[in-house]
A and B are shown apart, each in its own frame.
Chain A
Amino acid sequence: EAGVVQSPRYKIIEKKQPVAFWCNPISGHNTLYWYLQNLGQGPELLIRYENEEAVDDSQLPKDRFSAERLKGVDSTLKIQPAELGDSAVYLCASSAARGLVGEQFFGPGTRLTVL
């Protein structure tokens, strides 16, 4: 079974440029998460989707970050414009759990460097 797929794996951009990250969850997983991981820190939740609905986006900086999950499968996270402080690893995870807590499966992440 294929795991969570993310692309690109690495991205280097100039500040003020836009950037987008893509995630394909494990087939059949209804719940999708985007996390931000700064160097030396644990991941922090940005947004959670149940199918195509964003059910928890309280930690997403909405002035420059946006996300979508059209058709409830793939998801895209966008930053526009990027700032130096956005340099981090962006992780996508998916889960099949409903009602009770289940395992979250993580992708390899996209490492963003903003110059």
Chain B
Amino acid sequence: GNSVTQMEGPVTLSEEAFLTINCTYTATGYPSLFWYVQYPGEGLQLLLKATKADDKGSNKGFEATYRKETTSFHLEKGSVQVSDSAVYFCALSADRYSGGGADGLTFGKGTHLIIQP
């Protein structure tokens, strides 16, 4: 079956540091990949996505590149801010060519990011 593995947290960084959160996946077919973010007290929000190999998703200074050869979708940001403190979830959706509509997402366990001023 499908699965997502992401680095364990919490990850604690100083403001303006470089961020990488690793994510690898196992899937049959050709999945779409996502990063969702959950800020304290709020619901899950889509941060970025990529639907085919070598696609780069980006939003709010965050980037992630779909690497089919390494089955990875690592999240990066060049300079983090205190406001980036949140829980980040890597997720995948099954084969985009399944034709079955928007399948449910398979999530990783989440990585709690703490940015200190």
Contact = CB atoms under 8 A, between A and B. Distances in A.
Contacts of B36: 106
A101 B50 CA distance: 10
Interface in B26-57: 32, 36, 42-46, 49, 51
A43 B49 contact: no
A31 B49 CA distance: 19
Interface footprint category on A = 20 to 34
Interface string B97-117: 001111111111110000000
Question: Chain A interface mostly helix, strand, loop or mixed?
Answer: loop
Interface footprint category on B = 20 to 34
14 contacts: A31-B101, A31-B102, A33-B104, A42-B110, A45-B105, A56-B104, A93-B44, A98-B101, A99-B101, A100-B51, A100-B96, A104-B105, A106-B36, A106-B45
Interface in A69-115: 91, 93, 95, 97-109
B93 interface: yes
A3 B51 CA distance: 24
B91 interface: yes
Contacts of A109: 43
A101 B110 contact: no
Contacts of A104: 46, 102, 105
A40 B109 contact: yes
Q: What are the nearest 10 A-B pairs in CB distance?
A: A42-B107, A45-B104, A97-B102, A106-B44, A101-B32, A95-B102, A108-B43, A106-B43, A101-B93, A103-B46
Given A55-B101, A99-B99, 11 more contacts: A31-B101, A31-B102, A35-B104, A41-B110, A42-B110, A43-B44, A43-B107, A45-B105, A45-B106, A95-B102, A104-B105
Interface in B72-96: 89, 91, 93, 96
Interface of A: 3-4, 31, 33, 35, 40-45, 48, 50, 55-56, 91, 93, 95, 97-109
